[in-house]
Amino acid sequence: MNAFVAILRRDLLLAMRRKSEMLTALFFFMIVVSLFPLGIGPETALLRRIAPGVLWVAALLAAMLSLNRLFAADHQDGTLEQMALSPTPLALLVSGKVLAHWLTAGLPLVLLAPVLGLQFDLSSRALGILMLSLLLGTPLLSLIGAIGAALTLGVRGGGVLLSLLVLPLYIPALIFGAGAVEADMAGLGAGGHLSLLGALLALGLFFAPWATTAALRIALE
């Protein structure tokens, strides 16, 4: 457990020392989302209709921006070897890294989403559901993304390959995440969608670290 905390602390410290990387993804999210109301014009009914999808797609892309650095730096400077040789299971250390990635790349999106949602004339109730769906969904994005980042480690042109690999896997999160807000706005209740998103997250929490670990071990050989 000590090693888990050490990895988490180190990655957060590194993110704090290189704020620009974190802020780039955040500004990307802000700008992409803000382009839609500007492009479409003040048609509130249409904006309300597309808001959940736009916010979720932008969140997927923003969460993906920082993925290719998740393991690449550690691989290059030899830290990954030391992690693989730790008596602490590699899956636990990987979980620490994924948690740090979520705290720096996922959580800011959740906190920023309601502010951006205002541009789409969303009600406060819909904004709440949007935040909740992102809160359940963004950790899943980090978990799935870690598998992709580990699989493309050391591959030339890995960045593009990573998006081709990871984006299709994000589709369930997108459907249930955006669907939750839409269902609530249609008066159907978001409970079902959110439960499914939660189930996906539980599944990801359990299996993604193992899959990531296996991919990392292959990359280290």
Q: Minimal distance in Å, beta carbon 112 to other proteins?
A: 25
Q: Minimal distance in Å, beta carbon 38 to other proteins?
A: 37
| Contact partners, residue 9, CB within 8 Å, separation at least 6 | none
**Length of the chain counted residue by residue:** 221
Minimum CB distance to other proteins smaller for 88 or for 119 = 88
Q: Minimal distance in Å, beta carbon 153 to other proteins?
A: 14
Q: Which two tokens stand for residue 134?
A: 């992102």
Per the CB < 8 A criterion, the answer to whether 180 and 190 are in contact is yes
Minimum CB distance to other proteins smaller for 3 or for 205 = 3
Per the CB < 8 A criterion, the answer to whether 168 and 74 are in contact is no
Q: How far apart are CA 29 and CA 47, in angstroms?
A: 17
Minimum CB distance to other proteins smaller for 43 or for 77 = 77
Q: Minimal distance in Å, beta carbon 107 to other proteins?
A: 21
67 φ, ψ to 5°? -65, -40
Please give the residue ranges that form the binding site for other proteins (CB under 8 A).
2-3, 5-7, 9-10, 13-14, 17-18, 76-79, 81-89, 93, 220-221
Q: How far apart are CA 183 and CA 80, in angstroms?
A: 43
Q: Minimal distance in Å, beta carbon 72 to other proteins?
A: 13
